[in-house]
Amino acid sequence: MRTNVSRTVLITGATGTVSTALLDELRGAGLRLRALVREESAARRLKGQVAEAVVGDLGEPASLPPAFDGVQDVWLLTPNGPRAPEHHMNALWAARRAGVERVVRLSVVGAAHDAPNRSGRLHALSDREIEASGLRWTILRPHWFMQNLLNEAGDVAATGTFSLNLAAARIGMIDVRDIAACAARVLRDDPDRHHGRIHTLTGPRSLSLEEVAGELGRAVGRPVTYRPVGDDVKRAALLGYGVPAWIVDMLEEYARAYADGWGDFTTGTVAELLGRPARDIADFARDHASAFAPADAG
Ligand SMILES: NC(=O)c1ccc[n+]([C@@H]2O[C@H](COP(=O)([O-])OP(=O)(O)OC[C@H]3O[C@@H](n4cnc5c(N)ncnc54)[C@H](OP(=O)(O)O)[C@@H]3O)[C@@H](O)[C@H]2O)c1
């Protein structure tokens, strides 16, 4: 393994779920960290966590050179949305122009041109692009995030129930902290070591939502119940929260695929990369119990 302070790593998506966990993992790793953010206020908030934060927008190619200049490694995360491949293209072009050596890219489980969801098909376009880029590259394809359950924390805390349109799905869900640990592992290793590799990352077991409810209940010390609901109920709830229609459609496509068994598998890749088991849902539930506990608990 090499830790080399002369390497600068650009972290994209630096204010989001995965990259925040990655910054935690890379602290003290002997790398010079630079964050790409969209707002000066975010740059100020990241002070102390990164050597520097540079304002830029993946949708604005002209804004990117100052973030990419002088960088050896890029952690490339594109936010969900129809413009994801364009954001990826802009980032790769900026990386190429800046002489970046390696890009480690966050894709998604099952990314393929024939994936049953638009996110998987869009990610497949960017996976192909990076494979043909001429740069050194590694692709991480994580499964459904355990942290998605935090969207249900308010309901669980208030009612002891949560409602999803996942029917009787089993999902090999993964704790985002393990995705970050794998990304950090790759970024700390020699650039040649993981070049050309696609790592599909899952948790240690494929879980039903009843099993998830059981673990959440154990963590908060009262029963938690999963209530399966139809797509129309979930759609109305998400639109009511202001979630864009494109994202609602994407989530519905995933829900249908998962309900049909598409996500019912695990891999051993996290343990192979990290030399320890992937975090279990019991670990996630314990570490986030305060979010799911009733307000009057304790
Ligand atoms: N959720 C899952 O179960 C799951 C599973 C596998 C893969 N994924 C993939 O994970 C990715 C999302 O990761 P995440 O959950 O960590 O994201 P997130 O929490 O939604 O954060 C998105 C990040 O991207 C930044 N961003 C948004 N638009 C930008 C732009 N135009 N230019 C530069 N930065 C921009 C945001 O910055 P601001 O603070 O400025 O908004 C934020 O830092 C997606 O590619 C998704 O397909 C998700």
Per-residue confidence (pLDDT) for residue 153, from 0 to 100: 98
Q: How many angstroms separate the first and last alpha carbons of the chain?
A: 45
Mean pLDDT, rounded, for 52-78? 98
Per-residue confidence (pLDDT) for residue 1, from 0 to 100: 43
**Whose C-alpha lies nearest to ligand 1, atom 9?**
108
Nearest atom within ligand 1 for CA of residue 83: 31
Percent of the chain's residues with pLDDT above 90:
95
Mutation test residue for ligand 1: of 46, 54, 145, 182, the one with most atoms within 8 Å of CB: 145
Q: Do 127 and 238 fall within a single domain?
A: no
Residue 298 lies in a domain: no
Q: Do 197 and 212 fall within a single domain?
A: no
**Whose C-alpha lies nearest to ligand 1, atom 17?**
16
Per the CB < 8 A criterion, the answer to whether 285 and 216 are in contact is yes
Mean pLDDT, rounded, for 278-293? 98
Per-residue confidence (pLDDT) for residue 3, from 0 to 100: 47
Per-residue confidence (pLDDT) for residue 4, from 0 to 100: 54
Q: Do 253 and 120 fall within a single domain?
A: no
Instruction: State whether the beta carbon of 216 lies less than 6 angstroms from ligand 1.
Output: no
Which range of residues forms the domain containing residue 252? 162-168+204-264+280-292
Q: Do 188 and 92 fall within a single domain?
A: yes
Q: Do 15 and 120 fall within a single domain?
A: yes
Instruction: State whether the beta carbon of 58 lies less than 6 angstroms from ligand 1.
Output: yes
CA of 221 to the centre of ligand 1 (A): 33
Residue 156 lies in a domain: no
User: Above 50 in pLDDT, residue 33?
Assistant: yes
Residue 287 lies in a domain: yes
Instruction: State whether the beta carbon of 83 lies less than 6 angstroms from ligand 1.
Output: no
User: Above 60 in pLDDT, residue 194?
Assistant: yes
Per-residue confidence (pLDDT) for residue 295, from 0 to 100: 85
Residue 41 lies in a domain: yes
Instruction: State whether the beta carbon of 219 lies less than 6 angstroms from ligand 1.
Output: no
CA of 293 to the centre of ligand 1 (A): 27
